[in-house]
């Protein structure tokens, strides 16, 4: 495999920036161009719903690398620019300003955008979404002027934003389609922990779907009318795949199909992060992960692949969440499961949880138990049949239970 003379990376988030800097770390001496739609340098997004939203940390703390590192590493950073066309036959990317970039290798890391709420009133100025620094700044400023806030969406973004705004002292109602936030991803028992946590801290929880939004109110499908001077919507994300799709790249489930080395169907074109549906050899299926760790690790992995040093991407999916005083780490992939086993003190919010399918642990979560992460990962990756009773017995060591 010949080393390309140039690498163009379209998308300057966590995934793209890690790809660029890893190329240099691995000794690549060719041209590296990073194209980013935002004016900011690359930054991590998790703080936008947590400590940065609460004003507890500066945005500089979230930067992937300081601004000076881009010049020092000879990374050409085209900020505030987007790619509007890809010609795989001519190995060229056309930008919005009319210029073009030839490439030896191309990495698509265009990320995702918030899923829009499609109801009457969704375009009102008090309806906000969270994706960028400006979005987080706007939500914080608007909340300061609002007497009541409705956060629509019972997933991770919605529950984290609701928690942060409550910590800032705002009146918050969290609107979830399920009786408990996070119930679809965690199951009833673990989601109940989060429901109780929010209720204890003063978050009101309303169950239902939004039917419309009026100035000062959110209307639910059961007729409930919730006061809301500010509405923050967090109902999922949509991968930005138009560039790849229009170029004829093979797609899978509305994402860009890539193999275990993150290569697309087009020669010398790769896709990483939110937009990539990547074949996972250990799981034996394609997986698309939107979380921070996946973007970082796939950025590093694709750089190695471009330089002929790649290995199949088999990293176990990982993410974390902090809400009020409950911090957790989740490892594994459990779109469905047979049962959930818990060990520890759920009432005290200090426990481990395991999602089982066919008697095997497919995902594990440590909640306020920071020393258990490595053992949970080992159990997930072992893929062995376990005894649920021993697994849930706190008197049996984790390593022995597995």
Give pLDDT, residue 399: 86
Q: Which residue has the tokens 């642990």?
A: 361
Both 136 and 41 in one domain: the answer is no
Both 184 and 277 in one domain: the answer is no
- Residues 6 or more apart whose Cβ sits within 8 Å of residue 310: 261, 262, 301, 302, 304
The answer to whether the beta carbons of residues 121 and 25 sit under 8 Å apart is no
* Per-residue tokens: 357: 């399918």
The answer to whether the beta carbons of residues 359 and 375 sit under 8 Å apart is no
Do the domain assignments include residue 388?
yes
The answer to whether the beta carbons of residues 316 and 332 sit under 8 Å apart is yes
CATH of the domain at 394: 3.30.390.30
Give pLDDT, residue 55: 97
Tell me the CA distances in angstroms from 182 to 176, 187, 232, 334, 368, one per residue in order.
9, 8, 17, 13, 18
Among the three residues 207, 233, 259, which one is the final residue of a domain in this structure?
233
pLDDT in tens, 291-335: 999 999 999 999 999 999 999 999 999 999 999 999 999 999 999
Do the domain assignments include residue 311?
no
Give pLDDT, residue 171: 98
Do the domain assignments include residue 319?
no
Among the three residues 255, 272, 306, which one is the final residue of a domain in this structure?
306
Number of neighbours of residue 357 by Cβ within 10 angstroms: 14
Rounded mean pLDDT of 255-275? 98
Both 133 and 227 in one domain: the answer is yes
Do the domain assignments include residue 315?
no
* Radius of gyration, alpha carbons of the chain: 22
**Which backbone phi and psi does 250 adopt, to 5 degrees?**
-70, 135
Both 291 and 329 in one domain: the answer is no
Rounded mean pLDDT of 201-229? 98
How far is C-alpha 348 from the geometric centre of its chain's CA atoms?
A: 28
Both 24 and 101 in one domain: the answer is yes
Q: Which domain holds residue 179?
A: 127-233
Q: How many domains does the chain have?
A: 3
The answer to whether the beta carbons of residues 285 and 292 sit under 8 Å apart is no
Give pLDDT, residue 87: 98
From 320, 363, 317, 324, select the one nearest 340 (Cα to Cα): 363
The answer to whether the beta carbons of residues 33 and 65 sit under 8 Å apart is no
Both 40 and 91 in one domain: the answer is yes
| Total-model pTM | 0.96
SS (H, E, C) 177-225: CCCCCCHHHHCHHHHHHHHHHHHHCCCEEEECCEEEEECEEEEECCCCE
Per the DSSP assignment, residues forming a β-bridge with 365 are: 330, 353
Report residue 1's pLDDT band, with 50, 70 and 90 as the boundaries: low
- The C-alpha atoms of residue 302 and residue 9 are separated, in whole angstroms, by 11
Both 44 and 74 in one domain: the answer is yes
Do the domain assignments include residue 391?
yes
Both 226 and 245 in one domain: the answer is no
pLDDT in tens, 113-171: 999 999 999 999 999 999 999 999 999 999 999 999 999 999 999 999 999 999 999 99
Among the three residues 233, 255, 272, which one is the final residue of a domain in this structure?
233
Both 154 and 299 in one domain: the answer is no
The helix (H) or strand (E) run that includes residue 393 is none
The DSSP bridge pattern shows strands 230-233 and 127-129 to be: parallel
Do the domain assignments include residue 119?
no
Do the domain assignments include residue 95?
yes
Q: What is the mean pLDDT of the chain?
A: 97
Both 195 and 245 in one domain: the answer is no
Both 139 and 228 in one domain: the answer is yes
Both 243 and 107 in one domain: the answer is yes
CATH of the domain at 40: 3.50.50.60
Rounded mean pLDDT of 271-288? 97
Do the domain assignments include residue 24?
yes
């Amino acid at each position: 495999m010949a080393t390309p003379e140039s690498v163009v990376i379209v998308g300057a988030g966590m995934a793209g920036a890690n790809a660029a800097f890893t190329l240099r770390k691995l000794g690549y001496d060719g041209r590296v161009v990073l194209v980013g739609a935002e004016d900011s340098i690359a930054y991590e997004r998790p703080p936008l719903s947590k400590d940065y939203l609460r004003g507890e940390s500066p945005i500089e703390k979230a930067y992937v690398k300081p601004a000076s590192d881009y010049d020092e590493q000879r990374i050409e950073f085209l900020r505030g620019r987007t790619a509007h066309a890809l010609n795989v036959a001519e190995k060229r990317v056309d930008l919005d300003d009319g210029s073009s970039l030839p490439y030896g290798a191309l990495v698509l890391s265009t990320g995702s955008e918030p899923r829009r709420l499609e109801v009457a009133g969704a375009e009102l100025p008090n309806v906000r979404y969270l994706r960028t620094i400006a979005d987080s700044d706007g939500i914080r400023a608007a909340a300061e002027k609002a007497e009541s806030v409705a956060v629509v969406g019972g997933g991770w973004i919605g529950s984290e934003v609701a928690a942060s705004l409550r910590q800032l002292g705002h009146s918050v109602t969290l609107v979830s389609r399920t009786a408990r936030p996070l119930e679809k991803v965690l199951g009833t028992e673990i989601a109940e922990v989060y429901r109780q946590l929010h209720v204890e801290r003063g978050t009101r929880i309303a169950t239902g779907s939004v039917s419309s939004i009026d100035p000062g109110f959110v209307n639910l499908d059961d007729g409930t009318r919730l006061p809301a001077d500010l509405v923050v919507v967090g109902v999922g994300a949509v991968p930005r795949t138009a560039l790849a799709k229009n170029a004829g790249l093979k797609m899978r489930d509305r994402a860009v199909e890539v193999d275990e080395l993150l290569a697309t169907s087009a020669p010398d074109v790769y896709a990483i992060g939110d937009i990539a549906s990547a074949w996972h050899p250990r799981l034996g299926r394609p997986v698309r992960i939107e979380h921070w760790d996946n973007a970082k690790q796939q950025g590093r992995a694709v750089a190695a692949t471009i330089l002929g040093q790649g290995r199949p991407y088999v990293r176990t999916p990982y993410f974390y969440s902090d809400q009020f005083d409950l911090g957790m780490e989740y490892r594994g992939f459990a779109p469905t499961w047979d049962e959930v086993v818990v060990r520890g003190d759920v009432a005290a919010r200090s426990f481990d949880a395991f999602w089982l399918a066919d008697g095997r642990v497919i995902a594990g979560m440590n909640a306020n138990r920071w020393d258990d992460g490595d053992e949970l990962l080992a159990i997930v990756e072992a893929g062995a049949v376990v005894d649920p009773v021993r697994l849930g017995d706190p008197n049996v060591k984790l390593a022995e239970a597995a």
